[in-house]
Structure 1
Amino acid sequence: MKLKQFLPLFFCFLFTLLKAQTASDAVLFTLDNQPVYAEEFLRVYNKNLDLVQDDSQKDVDAYLKLFTNYKLKLQEAKALGFHEKKSYLRELSNYKKQLAQNYITDPKVTDALVEEAYQRISHDINANHILIRLDENASPEDTLAAYKNIMKLRDRALQEGFDKVRKEVHNGQTVFGEELGYFSGFKMVYAFETVAYNTQVGAISEPFRTRFGYHILKVLDKRASEGEREVAHIMILSKSGDSLSAQAEEKIKSIYKRLEAGEAFEDLAKQFSEDKNSAPKGGLLPEFSRGQISAKAFEDVAFNLKAVGDYSEPFKTNFGWHIVKLYKIKPIPDFESMRPELEGKVKRDSRSKLIDEALVNKLKTKYNVPEFQPALAYFESIVTDDYFKNSWQLPESFTADKTLLVIGNKKLLYNDFGQYLLNTQRFSRKKERFKSLISTKYEAFLKTNLLQYQEEHLEYENEDFAHIVEEYRDGLLLFDLMENTIWNTAKSDSTGVKQFYNSHKDNYVLPERVDAVVVSSTKQRTLNKVKKLLQQNMTVDEVKSLIRGNDQIEAIFTVGIMDKEHQALPKPFEFKKGLSKVNKYNGAFVLVKVNDILPKTQKTLDEARGAVISDYQAYKEEQWVNELAQKYKVVVNQDVLEQVKAQLK
């Protein structure tokens, strides 16, 4: 092709492409001189394309009519002030807050924590630890002393052996040396869990802090999780040193002999188990995993049973004597199956702080909020010990109008933080250093305002969020408008309903029907037998009893009043009293006995009231929309409409 032939085609193609690109930006129609853009129409049309049942609604012109009517109703709702109602504004605000939670979080951090949680619940850790108790708000001096002590204990443990030191230092008050047994994800506070899973088997961790104080731990074993077990038990109470201990042992052994002789475990549990909660249920206990119950001996026995139905020999725990029977072995499900549950746990767990921190840091960067806040020194200077008594007040010389920080286009003043300190002092009854107090309060204040600002501006920053809110906003308006203008008035307009019924009686008629018995079977010989029995005027129940064989259903009987469209009747079917021939219908054989033919009958208003009111509402709505079209002028841009049609094709 020569260049001079190619250029006109190229420019024609470019013009068509530009038209397609700009069609969505153009004004499709004006409503009362207000523009409605093609972009909105295209988005709504494409979103609802797969939802409409009526193919006529997929026609662009027909859909444009529906869309125009929708906009007319919204215009009327605003003209009547429905968008200013307190109930409407409250419901919309609550919805926006709830929806915003899905857009404000940092999904990358959440996903990483969920994957980490799955790896952890898939493995069990066996560890021992030493803890030096320390209050969360301890002074720097006490904190340093506790840290030095835990470091000394770690040095001793490395030299003398962890278990030796653990047993020697445990006093149950300020120092704890404990055997923790096996545990997995979510069983310990997150900081403890993280160190445990990141420490090699046989190694002693570096000192670390949780809200309980300073710890060191030694990992004894790490293994793939055994999942959960569902067991039942028979328990006879017995405590260490109890004079009746021998009787308890004798009783459990007697029960075991009866179990071995073939008596049902569940029956014996109901008769003899002294666990009042599980005994009525045959001894059945809720499912549990390793580390979830306080009796390690019980846990070991339950997890060592290999096959469902196996039961243990009698054994003793701190609670008494037991026999355990295994009901279910439940392995860890795959990651995708557990993702929703794990995500919920992560967001409720202490590790959710990591999600919050990541989000706050992301918003700080987004809105250029500096890490260092020099004004905190001023607030440290004005707070007093009265703060911890809930009686502190801002000083008279307080610098209220000075700018504290700026988030986007929102300016926060010293007074804003000052008021926050006043309003939250009741939550700070435990005395701490002013520096840490003000720092903690400022971080909470900053987080609150960052999230609030992001939420308030999300509709302008996130197109997807904006569209969803817009749809909900319009939906609320439309519902209120229709309820007040059409639905409620139509229901209460008894005179109008009656007049509408009298004018449209032909629409409310019971068609010709039959009182019939329809019998269906996959076997023709069965229906031949049924036909002979019905010819003898036997009842349906008598016929059913005579054709039932080996507890199998040979035929299905449908009895009642039916019109021609009833699904049980073969098509076509002639209404005629008596027995029909055996017909083949829908892959089966069908026999019909017509007892009576009921003629076409006019429904009374009471009989047809539901349908009449529905039709009356539709009639009122159509009249009302026509009135709105006269009230608010709609002008369609035909050129843009043609571009929209071309773009949809």
Structure 2
Amino acid sequence: MSLRISILFTALLAFLFVSCSPEHSKIVVAEYSNATITMEEFEKAYAKNVGSLEAAADDSFENYKNFADLYTNFKLKLEDAKTRGYQNDPMLNQELTDYKKKVGSSYILEKHLVEPNIKDWYEKRKTEIRASHLMIRVDSTGEAAASKYAQSLLDSIKNGARFEDMVLKYSQDQFSKPKEGDIFYFTAGQLPYEFEDACYKTEKGTVHPQVVKTRFGYHIIKVTDKKVRVPKIKASHILISYMNPAGEVDTASALLTMDSVLTELKANKDFSEVAMKYSDDTGTKDKGGDLGFFERRMMVQEFDETAFNLEVGQVSNVVKTNFGLHVIKVTEKEAYPSFEADRENLKNLLKRSRYPELYAELIDSYKKEYNYSINEIVIQQMIGYNDSTVIGGEMNGLNEIGNSAIFSFANHKETVNDFYSKLKSDTEYSGKKFSEDILKKGINKFSEQALLEEKALSLDKTDAQFADLMKDYQNGIFIFKLQEDEVWNKVSIDSVKLYDYYQKNMTKYTWQDRVGYTEIYAKKDSVIQHYYSLLKAGEDFDTLAAKTERTQLKDKNGRYDLQVVGSSEFSKIVNNLQKIGDYTEPIPNPGGFSILRLDIKDHARIKTFEEAKPEVSGGFQEFESKRLENEYIESLKKKYMPIINYDELRKAFKQNVN
């Protein structure tokens, strides 16, 4: 009985311990003043610092401790910034606002327009669709008449008329009409988006319930197939042309040759060898018929349909196209890419197709949200004052209408003064005459950017990721301001301090072995040999060096500054000369010939103060900055009394630890 009680008591204690232990995310890693750093905050900051959650989880306890020290110091600085009232500083807030508008407008387009649409396309492009359509074009009777006519045809189909019969009788797409409206297989991003969207919403074997309008006209759509898409296949083929060597159509000869091809393939002859022997495709014959990778719709339809229905390694039956008779072998199929791998391709597809419409829809939604309006009266006044004026010079009428609003929304009022300042500075408009068309294009361009910036100002209230981005930037400008006030502006440099620092650290500033030399240079061997003979006869070296044919050394009369021995081939050669004034025999080098004279040997030594002054200045500033930084951190620790619970860090990235 006592053992049972003991076990139950132990279990109860364990239960109470687990129940009373804080959740993992709420574990306090550090505390200071009246604030804490929780495990959730620490893990998020650490993972961001090392690049990923996986890398963070694999890291060491020592690295966690070091980061905890640094991160706590960072938080102490932010607490100090708050104490100093940086959050109320007009200049800092203006910098944050400017950054929010600049980054926010790009962020909106990327995250709220591009990203969701390419993700949608990525999922849609896993499927390929085959569809047929009946198309009615807009003619002189107008949009309404075309729409009404198309609707009447759709109603007939809904009431039992056969879709294919209606296409053959009424469709105005002359390309697809003979094929009962078939436009073959496609995937998202290849056809007008209104057409594609309707197809993706329609079940296989059914007609879309509404007439669809595109820039080509009005469409009644039937989806005939939907299946998993293979992005690309790699295939080889053997082509037997209908044309004989004399350039005449000879179908019988083509069929006989194809029989020979099939006989050899059935005898398990290598496909590529048979292709090289028989194929009439000069572009692929020497490569064993290899066509490389290709997508849907890149080949003629008969070839495409057969090839994409083959398995890897499978050889087709004979396929007839306008080019002749083909036998096809699929050698590889490309797997569907990951979203990240396909991201740039999807973005490019979007920019080339649907982006303008999506962008216009986004801007229109903001215009409604912010009650956007254009002042047509002011536009006409601008034109009236500047009937024959060119944009770029002084605008007439600014005294009268300069402060009038040309467009407005929310709390934004764009005056004529502000608008014209932008207009004349933009090369798209500068130099052109005032006109209603030009002014409205400018209004659209500048108002669209202003609307995006307006939306960006409140984006942190609805988008957590953007809010984090803005918080990081705010923290950054606060830290920069603190560093400026407490460190950089307090670094004082004078010659006494610099010399004292040099005396204590002079062994850091040294020269390696160096040489200085002069070169006589000529492009021709005969010339350099002549100069060498003159030197031997007593000619002055400097006089000959002044004749150098090396353009960049003419002003220096062939003289090279001191160089570290080994930094160039010349420095090595000259260093082997014994005495100052000794010179070499003619030396061949790229582009010409040289004779080198040793002018000075400067052996390895400590630099003088003057020689080392630039390095000393940089070293001293770094030293002082670190000293002031440490002093500042120590003052923050005394002020906010941080406590870091290092033992708790052993639980970092271990979600099941209580």
TM-score normalised over the length of structure 1? 0.52
Tell me if 1:268 matches 2:248: no
Aligned pairs (5 A) from 1:150-549:
150-154=150-154, 161-169=162-170, 178-200=181-203, 201-203=205-207, 205-225=209-229, 228-238=232-242, 243-289=249-295, 291-306=296-311, 308-330=312-334, 332=336, 340=343, 344=347, 347-348=350-351, 350-353=353-356, 356=359, 359-360=362-363, 369-370=370-371, 373=373, 375-376=375-376, 379=379, 399-406=401-408, 410-414=412-416, 444-452=445-453, 462-466=466-470, 500=508
Aligned to 1:128: 132
Structure 2 counterpart of 1:268, which letter?
V
Cα deviation, residue 446, structure 1: 3.0
Change (3 A) 1:638 1:338: closer
Structure 2 counterpart of 1:315, which letter?
V
Aligned to 2:143: 143
What is the rounded CA distance, in whole Å, between the counterparts of 1:648 and 1:134 in structure 2? Answer: 76
Change (3 A) 1:111 1:100: closer
Cα deviation, residue 205, structure 1: 4.7
Structure 2 counterpart of 1:296, which letter?
Q
Cα deviation, residue 127, structure 1: 1.7
Structure 1 counterpart of 2:405, which letter?
T
What is the rounded CA distance, in whole Å, between the counterparts of 1:41 and 1:172 in structure 2? Answer: 63
Question: Does structure 1 retain, via aligned residues, the 8 Å contact 2:231–2:334?
Answer: yes
What is the rounded CA distance, in whole Å, between the counterparts of 1:257 and 1:497 in structure 2? Answer: 88
Cα deviation, residue 312, structure 1: 1.8
Change (3 A) 1:57 1:302: closer
What is the rounded CA distance, in whole Å, between the counterparts of 2:212 and 2:302 in structure 1? Answer: 30
What is the rounded CA distance, in whole Å, between the counterparts of 2:67 and 2:298 in structure 1? Answer: 64
Matched residue of 2:306: which SS? helix
Cα deviation, residue 115, structure 1: 5.2
What is the rounded CA distance, in whole Å, between the counterparts of 2:324 and 2:429 in structure 1? Answer: 47
Cα deviation, residue 352, structure 1: 3.7
Deviations 1:326-363 (A, max 9, x none): 21244546x76777467536743534457535754675
Matched residue of 1:219: which SS? strand
Matched residue of 1:287: which SS? strand
Further displaced range: 224-233 or 414-423: 414-423
What is the rounded CA distance, in whole Å, between the counterparts of 1:279 and 1:410 in structure 2? Answer: 67
What is the rounded CA distance, in whole Å, between the counterparts of 1:271 and 1:401 in structure 2? Answer: 82
Change (3 A) 1:225 1:374: same
Aligned to 2:533: none
Cα deviation, residue 324, structure 1: 0.3
What is the rounded CA distance, in whole Å, between the counterparts of 2:30 and 2:313 in structure 1? Answer: 73
What is the rounded CA distance, in whole Å, between the counterparts of 2:173 and 2:349 in structure 1? Answer: 31
Aligned pairs (5 A) from 1:8-19:
none
> Percent same amino acid among aligned pairs?
22
Structure 2 counterpart of 1:187, which letter?
Q
What is the aligned length?
A: 456
Matched residue of 1:285: which SS? strand
Aligned to 1:639: 638
Structure 2 counterpart of 1:206, which letter?
Q
Question: Does structure 1 retain, via aligned residues, the 8 Å contact 2:199–2:208?
Answer: no
Question: Does structure 2 retain, via aligned residues, the 8 Å contact 1:24–1:644?
Answer: no
Cα deviation, residue 166, structure 1: 2.8
What is the rounded CA distance, in whole Å, between the counterparts of 1:187 and 1:41 in structure 2? Answer: 47
What is the rounded CA distance, in whole Å, between the counterparts of 1:355 and 1:66 in structure 2? Answer: 46
Structure 2 counterpart of 1:282, which letter?
G
Change (3 A) 1:145 1:380: farther
What is the rounded CA distance, in whole Å, between the counterparts of 2:412 and 2:136 in structure 1? Answer: 46
Cα deviation, residue 626, structure 1: 2.7
What is the rounded CA distance, in whole Å, between the counterparts of 2:175 and 2:443 in structure 1? Answer: 32
What is the rounded CA distance, in whole Å, between the counterparts of 1:97 and 1:467 in structure 2? Answer: 14
Matched residue of 1:203: which SS? coil
Aligned to 1:547: none
Q: Which runs of 5+ in 1 are unaligned?
A: 1-15, 26-39, 72-93, 482-495, 506-604, 608-615
What is the rounded CA distance, in whole Å, between the counterparts of 2:184 and 2:175 in structure 1? Answer: 21
Aligned to 2:561: none
What is the rounded CA distance, in whole Å, between the counterparts of 1:162 and 1:413 in structure 2? Answer: 58
Change (3 A) 1:619 1:279: farther
Deviations 1:519-560 (A, max 9, x none): xxxxxxxxxxxxxxxxxxxxxxxxxxxxxxxxxxxxxxxxxx
Matched residue of 1:637: which SS? helix
Cα deviation, residue 399, structure 1: 4.2
Question: Does structure 2 retain, via aligned residues, the 8 Å contact 1:124–1:183?
Answer: yes
Question: Does structure 1 retain, via aligned residues, the 8 Å contact 2:272–2:289?
Answer: yes
Cα deviation, residue 232, structure 1: 1.2
Structure 1 counterpart of 2:620, which letter?
Q
Change (3 A) 1:407 1:247: same
| Superposed CA RMSD | 6.2
Tell me if 1:626 matches 2:623: yes
Aligned to 2:576: none
Cα deviation, residue 181, structure 1: 1.7
Matched residue of 1:131: which SS? strand
Cα deviation, residue 193, structure 1: 0.3
What is the rounded CA distance, in whole Å, between the counterparts of 2:185 and 2:63 in structure 1? Answer: 65
